[in-house]
A = this chain, B = another copy of it.
Amino acid sequence: MASITIIDIAKMCGVGVTTVSRAINNHPDISEETKAMIMKVIKENHYVPNNSARNLKRSASKTIAVLIKGITNPFFNRMIQVFEKEIKRKKYSFILQRVDEHQDEIEVAIELEKEKRLKGIVFLGGYFSHSKEKLEQLTVPFVLSTIGMAPEFDPTEFSSVSVDDFKESYKIVDFLCSLGHRKIAIITAPMDDVSIGKLRYEGYKKALEDRGLQVDSRLVCSMKDHLESYSMENGYVVTKDLLESGEPFTALFAVSDSLAVGACKAIFESGKHVPGDYSVAGFDGLDIAYYYNPSITTIRQPVEEIAEETLRILFDLINKKQSHSHKIFPGELMIRESTARI
């Protein structure tokens, strides 16, 4: 049962461990023959170096970790692909680490940094509200990507890439207004939430106000706590409640495309039509918003660009080419079938 070690290999080959180590790690100072011979023995005996030992000894490794909160979010799929491709292209290795909803991503990051001797970290998703003290324990560069940020944060202490959730939300709600809608409902995060849900709600509020419209609290619907947040099911249940309340409205802005899909379903089940009876708008620009029937008006986030820029900044940070920077990408209003003039 005892696993085979580098020493065993060395003995079998009749060489020293150093030589074996050189063979494994493609070091220059080794003759082709001995290397080939060693590799052959390694293959035959299925020797696999122990990563823990390597990481322990190694002072630094060329690896980037991406910590992602809410991995169920299809929005991240495309981003992950870009991250993986780009990181590999730079000859770094790539670790994807899921962070639980209730877990503290900084703590996970600190631990991982020590364990894997990371060169850099990308935080994806979730909301960022950590003490400066904690942030300082992170000794490698990191970038926050598509993360809602507490405004009180000092922008000189970190880097970030995202869209302006407030502004984009404003944009799409304003678009609904421009279609003549005056009673616009919203499905958003619970009020005690401090994430992008909140930012998008603020955009909604401001857009209405600028149009001289009152925010009607009866049309402000919070996602259900006991259901997965931002899910289709959540949108469905919330919309069902709204429809049953009898509160009149003509348009509905869901702060994510998945919520919008669920909302449409609830509307169909009540015998109504989209956009005939209700206009529905989403947010994010997921594939499903395009493929849904009707296709759903939404704000498309430029995921590829966001991912690429995130890495560009991270590598600049790693190479000390620059200090912290913040990049805001514009979202794109995708006008589709789910919204209509009133």
Contact = CB atoms under 8 A, between A and B. Distances in A.
A56 B48 contact: no
B52 A56 contact: yes
Nearest to A263: B291
A12 to B, nearest CB: 17
A236 interface: yes
A63 to B, nearest CB: 13
Instruction: Determine how many copies of this chain the complex contains.
Output: 2
Chain A interface SS verdict (over half): helix
Interface residues of A, number: 42
Which 8 residue pairs are nearest across A and B when measured between Cβ atoms? A51-B115, A52-B55, A52-B56, A72-B77, A52-B52, A265-B291, A293-B293, A232-B291
Contacts of A111: 48, 51
A114 B50 contact: yes
B50 A115 contact: yes
A288 B236 CA distance: 12
Interface string A135-149: 001010000000000
Interface of A: 1, 3, 46, 48, 50-53, 55-56, 71-72, 74, 77, 80, 84, 96, 98, 100, 110-111, 114-116, 137, 139, 231-233, 236, 261-262, 264-265, 268, 287-288, 290-294
22 contacts: A1-B139, A46-B110, A46-B137, A48-B110, A50-B114, A50-B115, A51-B52, A51-B111, A51-B114, A51-B115, A52-B52, A52-B53, A52-B55, A56-B56, A71-B80, A72-B74, A74-B74, A84-B100, A96-B98, A232-B291, A261-B291, A265-B290
A100 B71 CA distance: 16
A290 B264 CA distance: 12
Contacts of A77: 71-72
